[in-house]
Amino acid sequence: MQPLANVTQLKPAARAGAIEVKNVGQVFKTRSQDVVALEDVSLEVKPGRFVVLVGPSGCGKSTLLMMMAGLRQQTAGTITISGAPILQPDPDRVGVVFQEASLFPWLTAEDNVEFPLALRGVPKAERRAKAQDALKLVGLDGFGRRHPHELSGGMKQRVSIARGLVQDPPVLLMDEPFAALDEQTRMTMGDELLRIWAATGKTVVFVTHSLTEAVYLADEVIVMSARPGRIVDHLQVQLPRPRTYEMLSGDAFGTLRDRIWRHIRKSA
Amino acid sequence: MSARISAKTLRYLIVIGLIALWEGLPRAGLIPELFLPSLSSTLIAGWTDAGEYGHALAVTLYEVVVSMAFACGGGILLGAIVGSLPRPRILIMPMVSSLYAVPLVILYPVFTVWLGIGSESKIAFASIYGFLPTMLATAAGIQTIDPQLLLAARSMGATLSQRLVRVIIPAAIPTVLSGLRVGGALVIVGVVVSEMLISSAGIGYLISRYRTILDSPHVFAGVLLVLFLAIGFNAVIRWIEGKAAIWQTGTRTGQANDEIAVNAMQPAT
């Protein structure tokens, strides 16, 4: 039995950052009927990949992300991250970045970033040091003392990303993080995210409504259908990195975006 | 900048103007001293009977402080329960809302029968009077907490008690404070009014007694004292707000939430 125990212990470390979703379903029970939000969803994400989930509104892409984060339990199937099932939020394995307004307005930027560490009783000095590093990584060096209302929308999202990264989890889940930003800020934040991703080597799963954003950011795009949510396509984006603004008008880019759009139009 | 300074100066000028009118109009004989005694005769009346007013103030202050502890403590506690748990909310909220439309002062004679005409009946009445808005504001404050904040805390591994201490309580502070402001002001009203109705001590009692013997300067000395009490209370609340809720400034949660809380205190809700 000894060798076998060793194998199972080694497995998670060897697969740090890998995500496996197997036959996952989600049924919401309402008073009148059961609503099938997700049906038989299976996908695999290799460590270090940038994967984007797209689909029409209500296709369950955010629900899937919440299940990966352990914030919601699936009604069928299994989800494993770094080789172990995810049954509840585990900040060691998964960092989550939400849409705007998930920063605590009564805390400064650095206190917000330190929050997950404070929950676990990490000593103040260590906490501060880690928060400073994370803020530096997202380009907010020197803004730590500001409160959220003193920051722009883009800066707030940078703080959110820093908070998601501060515990150095191998996986970062992002639920439409730039949806509330204006177009220019959104483009800049996309480039910033790619820079941070390249610097840290995290596995990123990113939910968005924007097809352009999806193709621009992703290694792989997973397209989901309207309710009940299923995976209808899984595209590899072969565009070279670093991605540039000029690629947006290229043929390869357009072909990919068209292919996604056709799926979504069909199911909507 | 200059606009703000001039607004402030203007406010001072208005106050000084009112004080001048208070002194000037009765002296010039434009208003009979019975209706409005001059400021100086009011102050002199208060000064000559300083002992009596001091004692009355002590009684009233004691009643206000005890009532506030009951009204605010109970209001925040029950408001937190009602705001965070749906079941008690369904049971209690309709009752509280209907009760809020009742002029509670009709209960005061009953309290004097139960508790006598001393401080106890005033405390009971003022506590209930201030309790309702504090409770409603706290419940509203807890209910308006952005669920996204709780979800974010959960994603970072926060336990239930950590969410309560680190998210729910700080997020509710601005609305609770504005509830305290209204609830506290009503406690002062409740104490003074009940003293004026049936009582044997306190500022309200003095005002009422001097009114029956048509001694206007002494009546207004009492009124002035209540005025200072209310201003002092307001200053204390402002100080607490400054200490506890720096984050209110300039955000949706600041001014906007005050309005929400005030709206929540309307009987209709």
Q: How far is A156 from chain B (nearest CA, A)?
A: 14
Q: Angle A249-A255-A258 (CA atoms, 0-180°, nearest 5)?
A: 100
SS3 A235: strand
Q: How far is the C-alpha of B145 from the C-alpha of B252, rounded, in Å?
A: 12
Chain A contact present for B99, CB below 8 A? no
Tell me what pLDDT residue B228 has.
Answer: 92
Residue B135's CB: how many other CB atoms inside 10 A? 29
**Percentage of the residues of chain B whose pLDDT score is greater than 70:** 88
pLDDT value at A110 more than 50: yes
Give the residue from chain A lying closest to B155, CA to CA.
Answer: A89
Q: How far is A168 from chain B (nearest CA, A)?
A: 12
pLDDT value at A7 more than 80: no
Cβ distance A159 to A135 under 8 Å? Answer: yes
Contact B157 A148 (CB under 8 A): no
Contact B156 A89 (CB under 8 A): yes
Chain A contact present for B158, CB below 8 A? yes
Best A67, A104, A152, A161 member to test B by mutation, with max B CBs in 10 Å, is A104
Q: How far is the C-alpha of B10 from the C-alpha of B28, rounded, in Å?
A: 25
- Cα→Cα distances B80→A33, B76, B115, B163, B179, Å: 33, 6, 29, 14, 12
Of the listed ranges A50-54, A128-132, A171-175, B75-79, the one predicted with least confidence: B75-79
Is the model more confident about A268 or about A158? A158
Tell me what pLDDT residue B248 has.
Answer: 55
A150 CB neighbours in chain B (<8 A) are 250
Q: How far is the C-alpha of A106 from the C-alpha of A108, rounded, in Å?
A: 7
Q: What is the pTM of this model?
A: 0.74
Q: Which two tokens stand for residue B175?
A: 């609305």
Cβ distance A41 to A231 under 8 Å? Answer: yes
Q: How far is B171 from chain A (nearest CA, A)?
A: 8
Residue A142's CB: how many other CB atoms inside 10 A? 9
- Cα→Cα distances B32→B71, B215, B218, B222, Å: 41, 13, 15, 19
Cβ distance A83 to A45 under 8 Å? Answer: no
Q: How far is the C-alpha of A180 from the C-alpha of A194, rounded, in Å?
A: 19
What one-character DSSP code corresponds to residue B214?
T
Residues 6 or more apart whose CB falls under 8 angstroms from that of A174 comprise: A96, A97, A164, A193, A204, A205, A206, A207
**Model pLDDT for residues A212-236, shown as the tens digit of each residue:** 999 999 999 999 988 888 888 898 9
Question: In terms of Cα–Cα distance, which of A84, A87, A94 is closest to A13?
Answer: A84
Closest residue to B149, CB basis, from A102, A116, A118: A102
Q: What integer best gives the mean pLDDT of chain B? A: 83
Best B146, B155, B176 member to test A by mutation, with max A CBs in 10 Å, is B155
Contact B157 A71 (CB under 8 A): no
Chain A contact present for B255, CB below 8 A? no
Cβ distance A176 to A86 under 8 Å? Answer: no
